[in-house]
Structure 1
Amino acid sequence: MGATRRKFTLEFKTEAAHRVIDTGRSVQEVARELSVGEDSLYRWVRDERRRIEAAMSAGEEPLSPKEHQELMRLRRELEELRKDNAFLGKAAAYFAANPPSKKDLR
């Protein structure tokens, strides 16, 4: 029986790559810490460095490590707020379809 293949979000890959790029730690060390394959982490680091170089060549300043962390935090917060909003919409629809009876109001 084969092992299931793990899937990583773009956010995870980017954060893992920045652990290597921003801190100067080795890919092997970060890969062990995160329990991911070294080959995968090498690819993520390569892709992130290319993205940074492309931004610089286009005249844009790449995000600083602090800005990158803030962006990731805001993306997580936005996702949580979207989930909350979806839940509240469903709850409002439920209560609109099933209003409480007069005996429930006492």
Structure 2
Amino acid sequence: MARKRRTFSKEFKLEAACLVLDKGYSFPDACRSLDVGETTLRRWVQQLEVERSGETPKSKALTPEQQKIQELEARINRLEREKSILKKATALLMSEETNSIR
């Protein structure tokens, strides 16, 4: 029978990665105590290292700072798209107004 895929909270992932990076646990020891696969834990640790170096991760961030950065980047992207739409609409209205004057 197939094993059901488990999901973990951001807090759990962060704490698990901190066990290895900050508390000095080895990967096998941390995996046994948390009941997670070693590949999974290595991915979380790698992601936390990237976040701590200041890079914004491609996947969902673990640290609150990087989560905020991702939210702000998404907001900037949305606002830039809206601005582009408004520019195009203004240009279209101006061209129609110019054509109607002639």
TM-score w.r.t. structure 1 length? Answer: 0.50
The one-character-per-residue Cα deviations of 1:38-73 (angstroms, maximum 9, x if unpaired) are: 000000000001100117xxxxxxxxxxxx9xx8xx
In structure 2, what is the Cα distance between the partners aligned to 1:38 and 1:32? 9
CA RMSD of aligned residues (A): 1.8
Q: 2:24: which partner in 1?
A: 24
Alignment of 1:4-15 (within 5 A): 4-15=4-15
Q: 1:65: which partner in 2?
A: none
Match of 1:35, as an amino acid?
D
Match of 1:50, as an amino acid?
V
1:50 and 2:50 correspond = yes
- Provide the identity percentage: 40
The one-character-per-residue Cα deviations of 1:13-52 (angstroms, maximum 9, x if unpaired) are: 0010001111122111101110000000000000001100
Alignment of 1:36-75 (within 5 A): 36-54=36-54
TM-score w.r.t. structure 2 length? Answer: 0.52
Greater gyration radius: 2
In structure 2, what is the Cα distance between the partners aligned to 1:19 and 1:25? 6
Match of 1:52, as an amino acid?
R
Q: Which segments of structure 1 move beyond 2 Å, counting only runs of 4 or more?
A: none
- Where in structure 1 are there 5+ consecutive unaligned residues? 56-67, 72-106
How many positions carry a matched residue from both structures?
57
